[in-house]
Amino acid sequence: MLPLSISTNRITQARYQLFHHQQLYHPNGYIILVAAALFALFGIYDLFALADYGLPVTLLRWGLCGVFCLTWFATRESKPPSQQIVETVTLISAGLFLTLVGRFAIHLGNDNYHGGTILLLIYTSAFSRLSLRYSLLVIAGIVVPYVAITAPILLPVDFQAELDRLVIYLSAGLLCAVGALRKELEARTLFTQARQIRSQGFRLKRHAQVMQRLSEHDGLTGLYNRTYLNQRLQRHRRHEPTQMVMMVDIDHFKAINDQFGHQTGDLILKEIATLLRQQLPAHWDCIRYGGEEFLVLAPTRDLRQPQRLLQACQSHQFAHGQPLTLSIGTADHLTSMSLTDSIASADAALYLAKQSGRNRHLHQPKTAT
């Protein structure tokens, strides 16, 4: 049971990742371009804050933006989580870039350099659609370099001010991590709701299929019923595939019901329906036309099939223990005729078969008028 549970969890996780990419990340991925534009605009601040070194730092910042944008567009149609990896690496690189530039600014005597680190954290928490693990990687990738590289240099210079700044960075990182967790929980809630809706949709579809089958099939024999026939007649036009119509009637069925009871009669109807399915081609439509009468719509003209059905009925052992015979009437169906007329012709042939002594098949060819 444990390996099966693990496999199920992996499948669910894979489905969630696909859902997150298709429904949440991919439609909103363009937001990172806005963040990239803001990151590039901070290059103007570098021009003034870093004096003679402002231009090369600004060009480096813009180059980083350009590489990211090209990579982002190149992976736009890639499989998940390619774009999330690209965005994660870019944000961490941007955070490391700002940390190193900040250290360089300190070396130049500027202890108050602000390149947008806090804005990166705000973007990751509030606007980015990265999943939880990538968001946490970005937050750690931004906060840890500052704590490890910049803070140790500034603490000896102005301990209290830098301690306050360090608390702000750590608090911002913690709040951003909580925000990322909240987004993940919301995404998982949406995923669960989507699965429930999809599951309900499947159940409704299966229910509709069952109801459709029940509405089109006879409850006793399992064959098609008059509802199916009426639908067939309503949509019948020149493209009706039927070439031959066959009417089948159980001989002396009323006497069987009177002598053996209606329960035995029902069993015989089921057995006749089974014979129809077994003896006739599977692509022929068998319909319980009414009472002990059955209608067959055949897409091919084969006059050997009715005779085989008669022989199969004569050799079959029925529930009441006595022999049973059928009368069968068939008629050709032409594309120039209505299906209703062809059924009437087959019914007329059936009537002649019963009048001629029963236990026989009569065919009534039809010519177009």
363 forms beta bridges with: 330
Residue 339 above 60 pLDDT?
yes
Query: What pLDDT score does 3 carry?
Result: 59
Q: Is residue 201 predicted with pLDDT exceeding 80?
A: yes
- Taking only the tens place, the pLDDT of each residue in 3-35 is 556 677 888 888 888 888 888 888 887 888 888
Is the pLDDT at 247 greater than 90? The verdict is yes
Q: Among 165, 149, 59, 173, which residue's Cα sits nearest to residue 112? A: 165
Domain 226-364 has CATH 3.30.70.270: yes
Confidence (pLDDT) at 17? 84
Number of Cβ atoms within 10 Å of the Cβ of 233: 14
The pLDDT of residue 1 is above 70? no
Q: Which amino acid is at 28?
A: N
Q: Which of 346 and 25 is assigned the larger pLDDT?
A: 346
The 3 state secondary structure assigned to 268-280 is HHHHHHHHHHHHC
Per-residue pLDDT tens digits for 118-161:
888 888 888 888 999 999 999 999 999 888 888 888 888 788 88
Compute the mean pLDDT over every residue in the chain, rounded to the nearest whole number. Answer: 88
Percent of the chain whose predicted confidence (pLDDT) is above 70: 95
pLDDT band per the 50, 70, 90 thresholds, residue 275 = very high
pLDDT bucket at 366, cuts 50 / 70 / 90: low
Give CA–CA dist 274/85, Å, rounded.
62
User: Is the pLDDT assigned to residue 192 strictly greater than 60?
Assistant: yes
Confidence of residue 89 (pLDDT cuts 50, 70, 90): very high
Q: What is the DSSP letter of 96?
A: H
368, pLDDT greater than 70:
no
Res 99: pLDDT? 87
* Domain range summary for the chain, segments of one domain joined by +: 2-199, 226-364
Which pLDDT score, from 0 to 100, does residue 309 have? Answer: 95
> For 317-337, how does the pLDDT look when each residue is reduced to its tens digit (9 = 90+)?
998 888 899 999 999 988 778
Which parts of 146-158 fold into alpha helices (H)? 151-157
Q: What is the predicted pLDDT for the residue at 264?
A: 93
